[in-house]
Structure 1
């Protein structure tokens, strides 16, 4: 095809978490285009209500369970994850958070970045995680 030829566009699937903030802010929990799935920054809680306040490991577990569900809703799984990004309000939590990340991804071992940020929208959130996945093509 030359540069002026039409290229087929992969269908887009937006996966909602049901958060009332999604239409206001203009985001989806996850988006799948073709065999690529991007999961938005995910915190521990629903509808802005944090869970496991003060416990970064428990928040991480809740976040990764939410990400796992979003991936499933998009037709993917944790084994398809190729990259995660972990944001912490206190970098001293990296080891506790990393251990839980390892429970979910020890065999998968996606590329990862772990960063400290100054704050989240809710001060009770200690961790936020994003994930990118690529679903293998049939047969290969």
Structure 2
């Protein structure tokens, strides 16, 4: 069984990807940035690593829920950071959500994203018990 989940973003159509893809009991969620509505306009939410990570994880919680999963089902988390020296700030927000769940984790230092205000992207894999 393969099912795709989208947000209706123009980027999903242009680049040919899905926000998430479920294959059997596993959900793969694309790297997600802190983009959202600010004063009615699409913008980056938060101006530091902690606030962007927190916002992204809230967004991903909704993606998980939409697909019938939860944070407790997450088995792998990847944080892409434009400044690796800020790993503790991003890690604190990550730990607030996953402290007891403890999925695998990768902290990856990357070059700046297309939008220089984007500091963090997060990618998740979730799996339900068979």
Q: TM-score, normalised by structure 1?
A: 0.86
Counterpart pick for 1:19 among 9, 14, 37: 9
Q: What is the aligned counterpart of 1:50 among 40, 44, 48?
A: 44
> Is the partner of 2:29 in helix, strand or coil?
strand
Of 31, 50, 62, 2:21 maps to: 31
Give per-residue Cα distances to partners, 1:31-87, cap 9 Å, x unaligned: 1111000010000013862111x2111100110011111111111111000000000
Equivalent position SS for 1:49: strand
Q: Which consecutive residues of structure 2, in runs of 5 or more, have no partner in the other structure?
A: none
Determine whether 1:103 maps to 2:93: no
| Largest Rg, 1 or 2 | 1
Alignment of 1:119-134 (within 5 A): 119-134=112-127
Query: Among residues 57, 60, 74, which one is paired with 1:64 in the alignment?
Result: 57
Q: Deviations over 1:100-132 (max 9, x none)?
A: 000000110000000110111111000000000
**Count of residues paired in the alignment:** 126
1:12–1:31 contact (8 Å) kept in structure 2: yes
Who is 1:114 aligned against?
107
Which residue is equivalent to 1:8?
Answer: none
